[in-house]
Structure 1
Amino acid sequence: MKKLLIIAALAAIITALVVFDAQQYLTPDFYQQLFSEQPLLTGAIFFVVYVIATALSIPGAAALTLIGGAIFGLGWGLLLISFASSIGATLAFLMTRLLLKDWVQAKFGNYLTTINNGVEKDGAFYLFTLRLIPVVPFFVINLVMGLMPIKARTFYWVSQVGMLAGTAVYVNAGAQLGQLDELSFAGIMTPGLLGSFVLLAIFPWVARTLINKVKKNRALKAYQKPNTFDDNLLVIGAGAGGLVSSYIAAATKAKVTLIEKHKMGGDCLNTGCVPSKAIIHAASLAHEARGAKSVGVNVGEVDVDFAKVMESVHAGIKDVEPHDSIERYEGLGVNCITGSATIVNPWTVEIETAQGKQTRTARNIIIAAGGRPKVFPIPGIDEVGYYTSDTLWEIKQQPKRLLVIGAGPIGCELAQSFNRLGTTVTMVDPAPHILGREDADVVEEVTAQFKTEGMNLMTGCKPKSFALINGEKQAVIETPEGDQTITFDAMIMAVGREANVKGYGLDNLNIQLDERGNILVDEYLETSMPGVYAVGDVIGGYQFTHVSAHEAWYASVNALFGHLKRFKADYSVIPWATYTDPQVGRVGLNETDAKAKGIAFEVTKFEIKELDRAIVDGQARGFVKVLTVPGKDKILGATIVGAMAGELMAEFVLAMRHGLGLNKILGTIHAYPTMMEANKYVAGEWKRNNAPQKLLQIVEKLHTWRRG
């Protein structure tokens, strides 16, 4: 009944606005004529009109504010508009709440959990920030906040206070305009009006500065700041993000301490990128050796010495270690400490080392604590045992039958490698296909190769339980056709990663986490605690080594020089590669992403089987696919499937980063015969598809005429 009454009232008001020509009440002429005769009535009408316009979210509140200042002056104009805008905003808030809140929360409650919690915890300050810094239009704030768990009276008084400063600036501008006899250059150049325009221009910046100052003081008021600091920057974690952060600090002559409790280089060097690529290399050699006889090179039966393969993997780690070693970074000017760090307050870290405990202070802290593999709590999993991408490198004896849970990039890379080394591999994933983030044509290419190599792919399936029966490890797999039992010798869990957020004092600072358990950072990579930044896997997002290093630049520069200039982290052009065979390279949007975001695109594709170098190398498979703005050569994204895809992506990454289109790639000389020519050929395909047909028809007639 309440909803019906509100809808009926709204309908009546809208009808009245139409009947009585409400447009006239939004012009200065109406009020100027009435004000000289009946100022009180004019004020009352203006007040009601402003309330209705705000309540119904009718565009033009800024214009009405200027009109109010011009008609009533700064004092009375500010009084009328301040209360009218707050009352109107509250009415819009209440209408949204009564009409839509229950439906929205019921339907989208899971997605609004973080916002709801934030509003419940600190709703008044959150709303005050939005009111003081109008990043979002006020009418949107009125409507959205009606869906949030904030009290109406709180909404009213915070809106009244929060909008007051901005309203005063606009009313003052209107009052100055109202003093002009006519709009002229000389009139505009008066100090009062110029001052008003300056206030309008700088108000958002001033408000943002004040809000940031207040937020910082609120967050830090519970802690005692040291008078002096041991370091300019202290970095926790010596993976890619931590190493680059400390390197940049040392290069800019800042005093920096880097703390790592395990091994320098983090996951990438010790358990991730380096060892995985080493085993992929060994597996590729075995696969190529088996196929060498097709071109007349007979190497006989391929015998894989798995123990030797694993030795070569660890040898690769050892060879790369000096690049990330303590010795190298201390030589660069970084103070490296091996130990466990605990953040005590925003400037102080306690470090437990083999020699005892020590405490260091720093002006800023960067958290680069990384992540770890997820493990699903499936019944019986501890009984049969499992490996992850972290512990896999402990294997000494090659398993005859390997079960891989998860068909993302990590699972696919490891599964294919073990299969090529001679292990029988079964992959299980609940998704309908492998490589769930890729387009269908990409998945088709990689899936076909996996099946050709004899891998057993069980997509659309999930592990139900594990058990050790008569000395054999068994898994019950839930499939669309019913449960199926698989016997295996070893299992790899490759179902994603999660952030390391425990054990180093985040709770001491009440640093906020997002809904997935990652450290929550702003666009400058600063956490909810001022002066404490975070980068890499610990903040989620793109969990790649090169992205961690990219984020480290922003975090370290903002930490060291943020008092002068801050930089927003730029994720506009992020490349990545999956090192299966064929490789998959990506940058920007693919078709799946573009469709999900509603972005219009044009697809241009070149089949690598047409490329001379690919043909003679026996790599005539895959494609280069580019998404562009329809009718233009601007690149929205590129996907490459085939040999060396990760290397071939560099040209598209460079082009996108510097705003170069396909015409520039087409006009660039590429060496022949190379795989890189595929990029030029796809640009040529785009050019043919977008050739100016009408112009070509005219040119054709010209050629015909010239032949006589």
Structure 2
Amino acid sequence: MASTDQNSASTNSDWKRPKRFDRNLIVIGAGSAGLVSAYIAAGAKAKVTLIEAHRMGGDCLNFGCVPSKALIKSARIAHQMRHAVRYGLEPVEPKVLFSSVMERVHNVIAEIEPHDSVERYTSLGVEVLQGYAKLIDPWTVEVALNNGGSQRLTTRAIIIATGAQPFVPPIPGIDEVGYLTSDTLWDRLRDRPSAPKRLVVLGGGPIGCELAQSFARLGSEVIQIEMAPRLMIREDEDAASLVEASLKFDGVQVLTNHKAVACGVEAGEKWIEVDHGGEKRRIAFDEIIAAVGRAPRLKGFGLEELGIKVDRVVETNEYLQTLHPNILAAGDVAGPYQFTHVAGHQAWFAAINALFGDLKRFKADYSVIPWATFTDPEVARVGLSEAEAKQKNIPHEVTRFGIDDLDRAIADGSARGFVKVLTVPGKDKILGATIVGEHAGDLLAEFVFAMKHGHGLGKILGTIHIYPTLAEANKMVAGQWRRDHINAFLLSLLERFQTWRRG
């Protein structure tokens, strides 16, 4: 989200405002932000229209969160079968029925699909139109319907929730070799009997790491190419190094500090050329996945014609309003985070401000934003990382507990990783937390709750945690903080008191 001056509705003065409106709200895009916005509007008894050109549920349901987690689960089972000796069982090389794995992915999507369906939202009171929307003026939207024809609607407010799409790097020859993305691979690879034999994954961020590990576990020979010095550059180095070690253990060849410079086909074989410190080499492959990030969908909606700035995202103010106060944006298209849960979070502010902004507006709150990468081990974080705190010169203390010392993790054979908490020096106020390990994304919720409501590590320490569970790691790190802050003088007095009590 980029900030802009939205101090007056006078920006609409060049346009003729309708005397009456067909709708209270039109929402463009039926991903997380759009669905939540429409849901809230319908709950507030507004007349709301939701417009989607492609699939209901957006990227998360159809191409991102849901299918990737289904794939990760199958890959994890294959990994456990290979390493069953850890649990006293005979290891076996799994026979990966790749087409069945992909069919399961699509079945999972289909099972969740009704939650986001046209039928459900219609039953909630939302009008759903399937087609392409374009803003004609600040209050008028024209819809080119998928089944033919068009429709024009006027509305008091509009929410732009058009999401994002994979960014494909402009590498010479990449179109020639026929790349895959996190959007296209689910359909393109659906009927293959086996995973691609030689797979190149471009990108060392969350999507790249999740896909690289999963395909390696399902039988692909994976080469992961990352231009940065290491994987997962947004996370602390100690967290990223554990993930990289796990990927390498699974057979992924990780090439950091390598820049992809060209692609091509020679004698029927696809290749990619990489540059490592001036030394170039070619790598042959069967399939390549571009997973270097996602770019907001900004074009074709008439935003530029209305003077709304669209650079990397739609420019909005702290209330998620654009240049025209009745046009708002939420989700990936607004930034600053590209997470499904943040899109849903923003949607509340966008919908309330769109419907009731004339009475009271609410600033979008980004004070406590969690996220997770679902590799094995998982990496989850909320608030400041240690690297960020150092870079920004924010005073902090670091308390760390190694999950390798946790009873449940030892029993489960998952004794690796850590919980790391940053606090205000001398106080238990939490500035940030990073968890690396089994179910890190689930375990993080306790720190998210504590930060959101102003609770410190003392409150976590004073909360009963079931034994033996992985969640005890949170209490353990809080206990470590307490031990590190024991008052030595008072401890000395306590020792003398106990000695006196013995007579």
TM-score using structure 1 length: 0.69
Letter matched to residue 343 of structure 1: L
Tell me the residue number matched to 1:316: 108
Aligned counterparts of 1:256 and 1:422: Cα–Cα separation in 2? 47
| Aligned positions of 1:30-49 closer than 5 A | none
**Structure 2: 5+ residue stretches without partners:** none
Partner SS for 1:339: strand
In 1, are the aligned partners of 2:87 and 2:413 still within 8 Å (CA)?
no
Select the residue among 258, 271, 285 that pairs with 2:63: 271
Is residue 458 from structure 1 mapped to residue 255 from structure 2 by the alignment? yes
Tell me the residue number matched to 1:680: 475
Tell me the residue number matched to 2:316: 521
Is residue 582 from structure 1 mapped to residue 374 from structure 2 by the alignment? no
Tell me the residue number matched to 1:504: 301
* C-alpha distance 528-279 of structure 1, shift in aligned 2 (>3 A): same
RMSD of equivalent CA atoms:
1.4
Shift of 1:540: 2.4
Select the residue among 445, 461, 468 that pairs with 2:265: 468
| Aligned positions of 1:276-315 closer than 5 A | 276-298=68-90, 300-315=92-107
In 1, are the aligned partners of 2:274 and 2:281 still within 8 Å (CA)?
yes
Q: Deviations 1:302-328 (Å, cap 9, x if unpaired)?
A: 100111111111111101100000000
Is residue 229 from structure 1 mapped to residue 26 from structure 2 by the alignment? no
Aligned counterparts of 2:41 and 2:119: Cα–Cα separation in 1? 17
Aligned counterparts of 2:148 and 2:264: Cα–Cα separation in 1? 44
Tell me the residue number matched to 2:287: 490
Shift of 1:705: 1.7
Q: How many residues align?
A: 497
Is residue 613 from structure 1 mapped to residue 408 from structure 2 by the alignment? yes
Shift of 1:299: 6.1
State, as a whole percentage, how many aligned pairs show the same letter: 57
| Aligned positions of 1:91-490 closer than 5 A | 212=7, 215-217=8-10, 219-298=11-90, 300-353=92-145, 354-393=147-186, 394-395=188-189, 396-397=191-192, 398-480=195-277, 482-490=279-287
In 1, are the aligned partners of 2:83 and 2:91 still within 8 Å (CA)?
no
Q: Deviations 1:372-422 (Å, cap 9, x if unpaired)?
A: 111111111111110011111121322101001100000000000000001
Q: Deviations 1:443-496 (Å, cap 9, x if unpaired)?
A: 121111112222100000111111101111111110126112111100000111
Greater relative contact order structure (CA < 8 Å, 6+ sep): 2
Tell me the residue number matched to 1:632: 427
Shift of 1:510: 1.1
Shift of 1:290: 1.3
Q: Deviations 1:554-612 (Å, cap 9, x if unpaired)?
A: 00001101111110000000110000000001000011111122211000000001101
Tell me the residue number matched to 2:463: 668
Is residue 659 from structure 1 mapped to residue 434 from structure 2 by the alignment? no
Letter matched to residue 43 of structure 2: A
Shift of 1:620: 0.4
Tell me the residue number matched to 1:648: 443
Letter matched to residue 232 of structure 2: L
Aligned counterparts of 2:78 and 2:242: Cα–Cα separation in 1? 21
Letter matched to residue 327 of structure 1: E
Shift of 1:226: 0.7
Aligned counterparts of 2:216 and 2:335: Cα–Cα separation in 1? 30
Partner SS for 1:275: helix
Shift of 1:704: 1.4
Letter matched to residue 345 of structure 1: D
Shift of 1:499: 1.0
Shift of 1:355: 3.7
Letter matched to residue 454 of structure 1: G
Letter matched to residue 664 of structure 1: K
Aligned counterparts of 1:560 and 1:687: Cα–Cα separation in 2? 47
Partner SS for 2:74: helix
| Aligned positions of 1:510-589 closer than 5 A | 510-514=307-311, 517-589=312-384
* C-alpha distance 481-225 of structure 1, shift in aligned 2 (>3 A): closer
TM-score using structure 2 length: 0.97
Q: Deviations 1:683-705 (Å, cap 9, x if unpaired)?
A: 00000001111111111111112
Aligned counterparts of 1:220 and 1:318: Cα–Cα separation in 2? 43
Letter matched to residue 387 of structure 1: L
Tell me the residue number matched to 1:106: none
Aligned counterparts of 1:322 and 1:314: Cα–Cα separation in 2? 13
Aligned counterparts of 1:294 and 1:382: Cα–Cα separation in 2? 44
Q: Deviations 1:192-220 (Å, cap 9, x if unpaired)?
A: xxxxxxxxxxxxxxxxxxx93xx321x11
Tell me the residue number matched to 2:486: 691
In 1, are the aligned partners of 2:25 and 2:156 still within 8 Å (CA)?
yes
Q: Deviations 1:144-186 (Å, cap 9, x if unpaired)?
A: xxxxxxxxxxxxxxxxxxxxxxxxxxxxxxxxxxxxxxxxxxx
Partner SS for 1:402: strand
Q: Deviations 1:514-567 (Å, cap 9, x if unpaired)?
A: 4xx210010000011220000111112110000000000000001101111110
In 1, are the aligned partners of 2:342 and 2:369 still within 8 Å (CA)?
yes
Structure with the higher fraction of residues in strand conformation: 2
In 1, are the aligned partners of 2:314 and 2:329 still within 8 Å (CA)?
yes
Aligned counterparts of 1:267 and 1:678: Cα–Cα separation in 2? 33
Letter matched to residue 172 of structure 2: P
Letter matched to residue 586 of structure 1: R
Aligned counterparts of 1:481 and 1:290: Cα–Cα separation in 2? 39
Letter matched to residue 310 of structure 1: M
Partner SS for 1:586: strand
Letter matched to residue 684 of structure 1: G
Letter matched to residue 502 of structure 1: K
Letter matched to residue 627 of structure 1: L
Partner SS for 2:410: helix
